[in-house]
Amino acid sequence: MSKHTPGPWVVEEDASHFDGPSDGYKFLSGQEWRSFCRVVIRFEGSSSDFPEGLANLRLISAAPDLLNALRMSEKALVAELQMRNAAGDATDAGYEVPIAPALFAARIAIAMAEGRT
**Over the chain, what is the mean pLDDT?**
87
Does the pLDDT value for residue 2 go beyond 80? no
Burial (CB < 10 A; 0-12, 13-18, 19+), residue 14, is: exposed
Element of type H or E holding 7: none
CA 79, CA 46: separation in Å to the nearest integer? 50
Q: Please give the model's pTM, rounded to 2 decimal places.
A: 0.82
Domain ranges of the chain: 10-61, 64-113
Which has more pLDDT, 27 or 22? Answer: 27
Instruction: For residues 53-78, give the mean pLDDT.
Output: 95
Does the pLDDT value for residue 112 go beyond 60? yes
Phi first, then psi, for residue 87 (nearest 5°) are -85, 0
